[in-house]
Amino acid sequence: MKILLTGCRGQLGLALCQRLDGTPHSLVATDLHNLDITNSPQVDDCVRHEAPQVIINCAALTDVDACEQDEQQAFRVNALGPRNLAVAAQRIGAAMLQISTDYVFSGADDLPRREYDPVSPCNKYGQSKAWGEELVRGCNSRNFVVRTAWLYGEGKNFVQSILKAARERDELAVVTDQVGTPTSARDLSEAILRLIETREYGTYHAVNEGHCSRFEQAAMILTQKGIRTKLKPVDSTAFPRPAQRPAKVILENFMLDLSGIYRFRSWQEALAEYLNKQL
């Protein structure tokens, strides 16, 4: 299958490039420097020229506070960008896979979220991603929308920030009131590959199994790496940020389980494997 990938230099983009390497699939990997997804004519030209069977959109504005401060740019990249790709894909009969986020939910209660639950974003990033989902569904009949959470792979992420900070300080304050599911970019790449090999279009939650608070995740990182830095539990009021974060969003992989397409391992198992490879 010929695959056009956007955002190939990001965490998930890199993991997908590695996963697809050595498979029979043919990959056209792009990023902002050669395909700006907000540029509709450029997207059209590229898609017509490359003629992929599927487009995987990993490009996004993922800085949640930057999205809050520049709503227009957030919607340009996270909503119009996916729309441009979905339209171009539809025109040539290609499928479109859009990556989305747990932040489309506000996390106001403890219930696990299924794919059919109504969205309720509490910040501009979540709103722009939710609208991106809608535009993709409306513009391409062969669409996959894959919502994930708390990604870590190669690049900037919470795991790397904790490792760096713990090596520089004796004590770290970490929040206990943000709960979610740390998800390996490597495992997510596997799920995406399984999905695009089907025609089972629709919305999927795709996270490692289980959930934890940021504090519990940090504790596991330090224990696993044998780092003795003390962790201090705090709540989110200790870190005022431009954008509000959802408190507790637990995505349930309901559609993946129902269809039997892919079963994720636990977040602890995936994180342990990742940490083993970190210096």
Chain residues binding ligand NAP by CB under 6 A are 6-7, 9-13, 31-32, 35-38, 58-62, 77, 81, 99, 101-102, 129, 148-151, 155
DSSP E strand boundaries for the chain: 2-6, 26-29, 54-57, 95-101, 143-148, 151-152, 171-175, 179-180, 183-184, 202-205, 212-213, 230-234
Instruction: Convert 3-23 to b/e letters by CB count within 10 Å (16 or more is b).
Output: bbbbbbbbbbbbbbbebbeee
Cα–Cα dist 185/19, whole Å: 10
Residue in the shown chain whose Cβ atom is closest to ligand NAP:
10
**At closest approach, how far in Å is the CB of 29 from ligand NAP?**
11
Backbone angles phi, psi at 29, to 5 degrees: -100, 125
Our CB check for ligand NAP shows the closer of 94 and 99 to be 99
**At closest approach, how far in Å is the CB of 81 from ligand NAP?**
6
Does the annotation mark 116 as catalytic?
no
**Amino acid letter, 88:** A
Our CB check for ligand NAP shows the closer of 36 and 166 to be 36
Our CB check for ligand NAP shows the closer of 13 and 107 to be 13
**At closest approach, how far in Å is the CB of 253 from ligand NAP?**
14
Our CB check for ligand NAP shows the closer of 77 and 218 to be 77
**At closest approach, how far in Å is the CB of 97 from ligand NAP?**
11
DSSP string, 57-84: E------HHHHHH-HHHHHIIIIIHHHH
Our CB check for ligand NAP shows the closer of 12 and 212 to be 12
**At closest approach, how far in Å is the CB of 85 from ligand NAP?**
10
Cα–Cα dist 150/157, whole Å: 8
| Closest residue by Cα to residue 46 from 21, 58, 29 | 29
Pick the catalytic residue: 103, 116, 125, 152? Answer: 125
Cα–Cα dist 148/161, whole Å: 20
Alpha-helical segments (H) within 51-184: 64-69, 71-75, 81-92, 124-139, 158-168
3-state secondary structure (DSSP) of residue 258: helix
Our CB check for ligand NAP shows the closer of 230 and 278 to be 278
3-state secondary structure (DSSP) of residue 104: helix
**At closest approach, how far in Å is the CB of 103 from ligand NAP?**
7
Active site residues: 125
